[in-house]
Amino acid sequence: MDKNLPDASATNRKLVVLSLGLLCILQAALNISLRLALYSSDAPDHDAVIRNLKEERDQLKRKLNTFDSSDAPDYDAVIRNLTEERDQLKRKLNIFDHYTQEGWRYFRSSFYFISSVKKSWGDSRDDCLQKGADLVIINSKEENEFTRQFRRLFWIGLTDTETEGTWKWVDGTLLSTTTSYWHAGEPNSYFSTNEDCGETKFHEVEDNWNDEKCHWQNFWICEKKVA
Ligand code: MMA
Ligand code: CA
């Protein structure tokens, strides 16, 4: 064998080593490029994130703008109303205490004072007016029953002194036919005696009213309406 000629097997070995080295380099390059590709696909799309955040922000801004004060409860007004309601109830309670302590009876939004002495119709009315009330005005069957339960002759706030035959309540309203409780045969101005004032008289029946001479002495009922 010629020593100067390169050994064929040595040359082959070199080629093998060289190609192995090249393969390694290629492998590494592939590895890196793959990793880069993968990494970039996992990476968040910053533009998209920013777009979404901006959209969200704009939505919130729009919400904030449309959420105007007209939708929100006006708490100041609520407090004002409740305070007003409380004060009204306090006033009512004070009125209730006052009349109850003075011996008035409460029935359906009114207080009633039942006299314990007798007076003429006019003097009875004056007493009621002095008490900040007036003679009772009867507006319902229930109210008439309330007055009838006492089984007593009472002056009521009914008179026809202004125009004979035209019965009016003390507040100026005309007696309505649907809430009038004249006893049968009344009012009669008995045997042409002038009977111009209304009283409760016939306790046994619903229709218990009578017209009587105004100077007669009777018990009476005052009424004070409360709101
Ligand atoms: C009394 C008097 C009159 C009433 C009659 C009813 C006697 O007079 O109260 O007003 O009409 O009684 O009998
Ligand atoms: Ca009469």
Segment among 34-38, 52-56, 141-145, 175-179 with least mean pLDDT: 34-38
Burial class (CB in 10 A: 0-12, 13-18, 19+), 113: buried
Domain regions of the chain by residue span? 8-101, 107-225
Among 71-80, 82-91, 94-103, 176-185, which stretch is predicted with the lowest mean pLDDT?
A: 71-80
Distance from residue 190's CA to the centre of ligand 1 (Å): 6
DSSP three-state, residue 35: helix
Among 210, 215, 216, the mutation site with the greatest number of ligand 1 atoms within 8 A of its Cβ is 210
Bridging pattern class, strands 219-225 and 154-159:
parallel
Question: What token pair was written down for 9?
Answer: 């097997």
Average pLDDT, the chain: 91
- Quote the pTM value: 0.68
pLDDT reported for residue 29: 76
Question: What's the chain's length in residues?
Answer: 227
Confidence of residue 65 (pLDDT cuts 50, 70, 90): confident
The alpha carbon torsion through 45, 47, 52, 58 (nearest 10 deg) reads 170
107-225 is a CATH 3.10.100.10 domain? yes
Mean pLDDT, residues 207-224: 98
Alpha-carbon distances, residue 114 vs 147, 207, 227 (angstroms): 9, 20, 21
Taking CA atoms only, the protein residue closest to ligand 1 atom 13 is 190
From the CA atom positions of the chain, what is the Rg in Å? 52
% of the chain residues with pLDDT over 90: 73
pLDDT at 136: 98
Tell the residue nearest (CA) to atom 8 of ligand 1. 190
Q: What is the pLDDT of residues 147-191, one digit of tens each?
A: 999 999 999 999 999 999 999 999 999 999 999 999 999 999 999
